[in-house]
């Protein structure tokens, strides 16, 4: 079989050379279906199981928890998939496009929070994966966490092609494992009895929606990183639907399993999530396969988090240093930094995982819904899918260094959520009148979307070149690699 071609006369390398620069048309490859396998594999994993279980652990009934999780996965997944559709059009990582809203240097504000998110998800994923790797290798939990982190870093350093290959493998293996585990679980429980309680409690229902919506929205800051190599002619509609289907199906499948496990296993699951799931499947070779599957599923998503964190760090630094490309050594240093930080957090927080992870998810939502609302309103309604790509790298260009009006709207979006936010360390004054329900993420989407639309229209910067002409200008000015 012929080897893939990177550009005319050049064979594609497995190790990725691109970072935050535009992907030329000659290097584009793949189909929109690749988004389905990647996001299905990334969501069929143990942390998504735990996320679904939290809806029951914190007081929800199984039936309405399942319904709430579906709603949140579809709503949050749709927003996330709208970001994914930007990738083929622009050929850029997701957070670079934030410079069109916040300025070339102003984009560092949401970027710093994004990096914190990636480190947090790396840590939370490493806790559960470390348990699986420790059991599989008989090394124990702490060495398992460290070994898993090293494998994650190496895979992320290789880059885009191996990430998608990993997603394809994980989507098949993890799907088979979840089918098997589902059958085993249904053999043990009376599904009718579990779903019999239909008492509706609005706060718990909204918690379930928030948990799954936050799970999906957290992918927004990096989802286009994994669609940017698709040919420019790839249908935005196809990219949207394949991304949404893979992500919503994978996460709902995992979360529904978590709801049923939490509703029937109680403390047996809470005390040892990985051990209980594997024990449900069996012993011996089957247990080893399940430990491997848990590690594989977590490897897929942790690589995405690490790679996305690397892109965000480069984007942050390049806004001040006018740097568009980096060498392999610098790439490895960035990724190594994320690995070390995430591993330290994982080792420090592994004993209080469940409560910490729930608060982490909901707190993250406070900062990423305003960013998502502003980015999507600007891309689809203000700029109408057209950006001046060279200006995204020039602080003196049309987007400027800092766009204070957009940053003010972002801060307003964060502050507007605080009265409605409910976490263990802070509860807003309007939570109690709503019966304890947390609707902060809805406020965080609506308020900045409306305000930014008004502000951006008033700014009236006029039309901008198409993404295609911007990319062409970029290549003309900087040379085709």
Which pLDDT score, from 0 to 100, does residue 130 have? Answer: 84
Per-residue pLDDT at 86 exceeds 50: yes
Q: How confident is the model at residue 350 (pLDDT cuts 50, 70, 90)?
A: low
Mean predicted confidence (pLDDT) in 343-367: 69
Helices (H), 58-201: 62-84, 86-90, 99-102, 108-137, 141-158, 160-188, 191-194
Q: Mean pLDDT, the chain, as a whole number?
A: 85
465: burial class by Cβ within 10 Å (0-12, 13-18, 19+)? middle
Taking each helix axis from N to C terminus, what angle separates 62-84 and 46-57, rounded to the nearest 10 degrees? Answer: 140
Distance, in Å, from the CA atom of 382 to the CA atom of 379, rounded to the nearest integer, reads 6
Higher per-residue confidence, 71 vs 274: 71
DSSP letter, residue 269: H
Q: Which residue has the tokens 């249904």?
A: 186
Contact status, residue 77 vs residue 217, Cβ threshold 8 Å = no
Q: How confident is the model at residue 432 (pLDDT cuts 50, 70, 90)?
A: confident
Which pLDDT score, from 0 to 100, does residue 36 have? Answer: 97
Q: In 10 A of CB 47, how many CB atoms?
A: 26
Mean predicted confidence (pLDDT) in 118-130: 81
Higher per-residue confidence, 465 vs 300: 300
Mean predicted confidence (pLDDT) in 222-230: 92
Per-residue pLDDT at 398 exceeds 70: yes
Query: Dihedral, CA atoms, 362, 366, 367, 370, nearest 10 degrees?
Result: 130
Collapsing DSSP to helix, strand or coil, 422 comes out as strand
Per-residue pLDDT at 425 exceeds 60: yes
Distance, in Å, from the CA atom of 265 to the CA atom of 250, rounded to the nearest integer, reads 22
- From the DSSP assignment, how many helices (H) and strands (E) are in the chain? 19, 2
Per-residue pLDDT at 480 exceeds 60: no
Rg (CA), the chain: 22
**CATH number of the domain at 5-368, please?**
1.10.4160.10
Mean predicted confidence (pLDDT) in 194-213: 88
Which pLDDT score, from 0 to 100, does residue 159 have? Answer: 86
Max mean pLDDT among 92-96, 265-269, 321-325, 351-355 falls in 92-96
Which pLDDT score, from 0 to 100, does residue 188 have? Answer: 86
Which pLDDT score, from 0 to 100, does residue 218 have? Answer: 85
Structure token digits, residue 238: 């196809």
β-pairing, 10-11 with 5-7? antiparallel
Which pLDDT score, from 0 to 100, does residue 356 have? Answer: 63
Contact status, residue 212 vs residue 69, Cβ threshold 8 Å = yes
Mean predicted confidence (pLDDT) in 458-468: 54
Mean predicted confidence (pLDDT) in 213-235: 91
Distance, in Å, from the CA atom of 153 to the CA atom of 164, rounded to the nearest integer, reads 16
Q: Which residue has the tokens 């998502």?
A: 372
Range of lowest pLDDT (21-30, 77-86, 127-136, 240-249): 127-136
Give the residue extent of every domain in the chain. Answer: 5-368
Distance, in Å, from the CA atom of 316 to the CA atom of 308, rounded to the nearest integer, reads 12
Distance, in Å, from the CA atom of 298 to the CA atom of 170, rounded to the nearest integer, reads 10
pLDDT tens column, 130-186? 888 888 888 888 888 889 889 999 999 888 899 999 999 999 999 999 999 999 999
Phi, psi of 467 (to 5 degrees): -60, -35
Mean predicted confidence (pLDDT) in 402-410: 94
Contacts of 6 (CB under 8 A, 6+ apart): 12, 13, 26, 27
Which pLDDT score, from 0 to 100, does residue 375 have? Answer: 93
Contact status, residue 223 vs residue 43, Cβ threshold 8 Å = no
Which pLDDT score, from 0 to 100, does residue 352 have? Answer: 62
């Amino acid at each position: 079989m012929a080897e893939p071609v990177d550009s005319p006369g050049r064979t594609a390398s497995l190790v990725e050379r691109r970072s935050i620069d535009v992907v030329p048309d000659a290097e584009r490859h793949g189909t929109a279906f690749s988004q389905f396998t990647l996001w299905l594999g990334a969501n069929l994993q143990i942390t998504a199981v735990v996320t679904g279980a939290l809806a029951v652990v914190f007081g929800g009934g199984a039936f309405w928890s399942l319904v709430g999780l579906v709603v949140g996965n579809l709503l949050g997944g749709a927003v996330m998939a709208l970001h994914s559709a930007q990738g083929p059009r622009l050929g850029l990582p997701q957070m670079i496009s934030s410079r069109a809203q916040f300025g070339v240097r102003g984009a560092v504000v949401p970027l710093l929070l994004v990096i914190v998110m990636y480190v947090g998800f790396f840590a939370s994923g490493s806790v559960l994966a470390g348990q699986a790797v420790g059991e599989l290798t008989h090394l124990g939990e702490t060495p398992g966490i460290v070994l898993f982190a090293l494998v994650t870093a190496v895979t992320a350093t290789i880059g885009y092609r191996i990430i998608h290959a990993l997603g394809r493998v994980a989507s098949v293996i993890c799907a088979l494992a979840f089918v098997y585990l589902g059958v085993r679980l249904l053999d043990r429980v009376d599904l009718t009895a579990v779903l019999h309680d239909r008492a509706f409690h609005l706060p718990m229902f909204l918690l379930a929606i928030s948990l799954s919506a936050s799970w999906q929205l957290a992918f927004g800051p990096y989802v286009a990183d994994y669609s940017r190599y698709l040919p420019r002619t790839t249908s935005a509609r196809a990219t949207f639907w394949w991304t949404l289907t893979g992500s919503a199906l994978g996460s709902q499948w995992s979360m529904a399993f978590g709801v049923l496990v939490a509703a029937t296993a109680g403390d047996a699951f809470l005390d040892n999530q990985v051990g209980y799931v594997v024990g449900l499947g069996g012993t011996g070779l089957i247990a080893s396969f399940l430990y491997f599957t848990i590690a594989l599923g977590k490897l897929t998503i942790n690589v995405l988090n690490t790679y996305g964190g690397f892109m965000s760090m480069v984007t942050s630094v390049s806004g001040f240093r006018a740097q568009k490309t980096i060498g392999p050594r610098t790439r490895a240093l960035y990724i190594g930094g994320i690995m070390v930080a995430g591993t330290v957090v994982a080792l420090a927080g592994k004993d209080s995982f469940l409560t910490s992870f729930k608060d982490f998810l909901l707190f993250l939502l406070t900062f990423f819904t305003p960013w998502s609302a502003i980015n999507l309103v600007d891309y689809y309604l203000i700029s109408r899918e057209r950006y001046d790509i060279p200006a995204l790298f020039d602080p003196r260009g049309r987007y400027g260094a800092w766009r204070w009006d957009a940053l003010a709207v972002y801060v307003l979006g964060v502050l507007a959520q605080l009265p409605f936010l409910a976490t263990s360390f802070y509860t807003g004054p309007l939570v109690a009148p709503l019966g304890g329900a947390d609707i902060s993420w809805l406020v965080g989407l609506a308020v900045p979307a409306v305000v930014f639309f008004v502000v951006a229209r008033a700014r009236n910067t006029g039309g901008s070149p198409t993404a295609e002409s911007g990319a062409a200008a970029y290549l003309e000015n900087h040379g085709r690699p």
